[in-house]
């Protein structure tokens, strides 16, 4: 999830009443979240009206004071806060299946290679996290160097997953069924994706705890003493083969090919990431190809033509 600290005009939401600075929700974020259809919980429009109350309750419950302007992502708002003299971050997230077990993954990682979770109220969708340097991510780093960093993090984060976390195979099945019924998905990609998934699913798969969204913007630098290192944020955990975790680094920043062909650059990124993570390269290719096909299908539902074009090119680059 990339952060957006530049609000644009949009629907008004009453600011949360809180100690310290008042929390005004960025209008562009409110407008975007309002468009989210219900996905196992409230619609974005219904939920965003509750956000000021959620913020106020979290501030009171954990004894926090607002300490800066909020930053926003696709489904969450993050507010700099103080607990006494301790600098922390309060995260409030729209309820949706992908984010359901974020608190569980962060608890299991316990600050190792990931942001440290201080407290959580899963029912309210609020997390209290260590504060990281939100202005320092991997987007200014050469892509291949970023792949090395992220690959190393994936290797550290790849611990056994608990049964409570969704199984990757079960998670993908509904997406594959929808793909087969979407005429906008090129037939060759749909057939190849489904066939390859069937091959992979027929074999015993690892039950590794996967981040699933670790890209250049979801890695920030620590600020606390002894924490001056790169740390993962914003997991959307499932359990399955670690090869599934590689794709986000391939389809982010696709324009930075450093003079190479698209195919060469994408395959090089995959191999660097897999090797740094200790993931079998052939399995990383296979799972990335399946995931790219699913993302093509998803992009048709979102009517993201430019993104779909990039993803189609990516599936061709990964397929021999």
As annotated, the active-site residues are: 213
Nearest Cα to Cα of residue 138 among 196, 220, 247: 220
Residue 264: other Cβ atoms inside 10 A: 13
Q: Are 132 and 220 in contact (CB under 8 A)?
A: yes
Nearest Cα to Cα of residue 193 among 275, 310, 305, 314: 314
Cα distances from 296 to residues 1, 139, 270, in angstroms, run 19, 24, 18
Sequence-ordered list of residues with C-beta below 8 angstroms from that of 281, at least 6 positions apart, any chain: 270, 271, 274, 275
Cα-to-chain-centroid distance, residue 251 = 13
Angle between helices 168-180 and 281-302 (to 10 degrees): 50
């Amino acid at each position: 999830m990339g952060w957006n600290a530049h609000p644009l005009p949009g629907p008004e939401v009453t600011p949360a009443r809180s100690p310290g600075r008042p929390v005004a929700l960025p209008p562009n974020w409110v407008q975007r979240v309002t468009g989210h259809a219900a996905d196992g919980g409230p619609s974005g429009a219904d939920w965003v009206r509750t956000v000021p109350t959620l913020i106020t309750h979290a501030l009171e419950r954990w004894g926090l004071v607002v300490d800066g302007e909020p930053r926003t992502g696709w489904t969450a708002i993050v507010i700099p806060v103080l607990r006494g003299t301790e600098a922390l971050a309060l995260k409030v997230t729209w309820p949706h299946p992908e984010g359901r077990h974020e608190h569980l993954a962060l608890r299991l990682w316990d600050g190792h290679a990931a942001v440290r979770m201080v407290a959580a109220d899963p029912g309210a969708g609020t997390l209290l996290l260590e504060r990281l340097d939100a202005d320092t991510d991997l987007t200014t780093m050469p892509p291949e160097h970023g792949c090395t960093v992220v690959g190393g993090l994936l290797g550290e984060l790849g611990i056994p997953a608990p049964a409570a976390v969704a199984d990757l195979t079960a998670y993908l099945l509904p997406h594959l069924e929808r793909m087969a019924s979407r005429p906008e998905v090129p037939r060759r990609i749909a057939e190849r994706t489904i066939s390859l998934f069937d091959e992979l699913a027929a074999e015993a798969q690892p039950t590794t705890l996967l981040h699933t969204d670790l890209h250049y913007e979801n890695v920030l630098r620590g600020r606390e003493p002894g924490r001056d290192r790169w740390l993962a944020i914003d997991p959307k955990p499932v359990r399955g083969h670690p090869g599934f975790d590689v794709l986000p680094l391939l389809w982010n920043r696709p324009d930075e090919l450093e003079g190479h062909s698209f195919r060469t650059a994408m395959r090089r990124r995959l191999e660097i990431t897999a090797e740094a993570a200790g993931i079998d390269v052939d399995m990383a290719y296979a799972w990335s190809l399946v995931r790219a096909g699913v993302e093509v299908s998803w992009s048709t539902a979102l009517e993201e033509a430019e993104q779909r074009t990039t993803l189609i090119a990516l599936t061709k680059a990964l397929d021999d």
